[in-house]
Structure 1
Amino acid sequence: MRAEAGAPHEWLDADAGPVVRPYALTGGRVRSAVDGFDLVAYVLAERDADPVAYPELQPEHRRLVALAGRPVPVAELAAALDLAVGVVRVLLGDLVDRGLVTVHQPPATPYLPDNDILKAVVSGLRSL
């Protein structure tokens, strides 16, 4: 494979994709230090969050803090960074440990609907 003009390496061209693999972003970790975050859990940066005070943080950490200036779901953060949700969960765990963001889990539902109710809803939708 020959590099395009201006490419820094011969092995890298426009089709190479991301140079840094997800496992490199998380240091090989697949689980967050904090309990798993629901996809619809909201993340909010602390008011005095200053990721610059933590030089060990990666650019993705800093971007997460910036995006979380308003309440934003975990799934939306993953889409904004174009990263897998598992990677974002690990990175968020790092930020929670440092007190830069808080994660607000959705309330647990007290019960699940009965299967008969779900079947009736599906049947009603099909009849439309």
Structure 2
Amino acid sequence: MSSGSRRRPGAGSHHADEDPVVRPFMLTGGRTQPMRDGLRIETQLHAAPAALSAPLRFEARRIVELCQAPMSIADLSATMGAPLGVVRVIVADLITEGHVLVEDRPGDLPTTMIERIRDLVRAL
């Protein structure tokens, strides 16, 4: 291929096997701060099976699916490959709408949990 025939990325050169790039602000409606304060990356979340029938879109639906078993915000971010800030905003919306619940975990986090969160954040 000659250098003159190369196409710029994003200039109509989308291939069927590539994922389209979606900017993070598009996933959160332009918001950068969650509507609910106090959501830490180790916050454990759980969604009731009934939340699967809610009319949710894209990332919100995926979060509800993943939270059928308790999962932290950091784990969601790593599993989805989405920025932590974006996941926090979407999770806060889901909590406000009643689709996702914050699991009450009394006491301090076990060292293994803290180490796992640290490792997941580093992997981002």
TM-score by length of 1: 0.66
Q: Is the alpha carbon distance of 1:78 and 1:92 closer, same or farther for their aligned partners in structure 2, counting shifts above 3 Å? A: same
Q: State how 1:10-89 maps to structure 2 within 5 Å.
A: 10-12=12-14, 19-50=21-52, 52-54=53-55, 57-89=56-88
Larger Cα-atom Rg:
1
Instruction: Give the percent of matched residue pairs that are identical in Structure 1 and Structure 2.
Output: 38
CA distance in 2, matches of 1:26, 1:86: 10
TM-score by length of 2: 0.68
CA distance in 1, matches of 2:104, 2:51: 20
**Counterpart of 1:49 in 2: which secondary structure?**
helix
Gaps (5+ residues) in structure 2? 1-5, 109-124
CA distance in 2, matches of 1:101, 1:75: 15
Query: Which deviations, in whole Å up to 9, do the C-alpha atoms of 1:87-118 show, x marking residues without a partner?
Result: 00000011111111112365576xxxxxxxxx
Check conservation: 2:47, 2:99, Cα contact below 8 A.
yes
CA distance in 1, matches of 2:85, 2:38: 9
Q: Is the alpha carbon distance of 1:28 and 1:45 closer, same or farther for their aligned partners in structure 2, counting shifts above 3 Å? A: same
Q: Is the alpha carbon distance of 1:69 and 1:11 closer, same or farther for their aligned partners in structure 2, counting shifts above 3 Å? A: same
Letter in 1 for 2:33: R
| Aligned length in residues | 102
CA distance in 2, matches of 1:17, 1:93: 26
**Counterpart of 1:48 in 2: which secondary structure?**
helix
Check conservation: 2:44, 2:102, Cα contact below 8 A.
yes
Gaps (5+ residues) in structure 1? 4-8, 110-128
CA distance in 1, matches of 2:36, 2:96: 8
Q: Is the alpha carbon distance of 1:17 and 1:36 closer, same or farther for their aligned partners in structure 2, counting shifts above 3 Å? A: farther
Check conservation: 1:30, 1:90, Cα contact below 8 A.
yes
Question: Higher helix proportion, which one?
Answer: 2
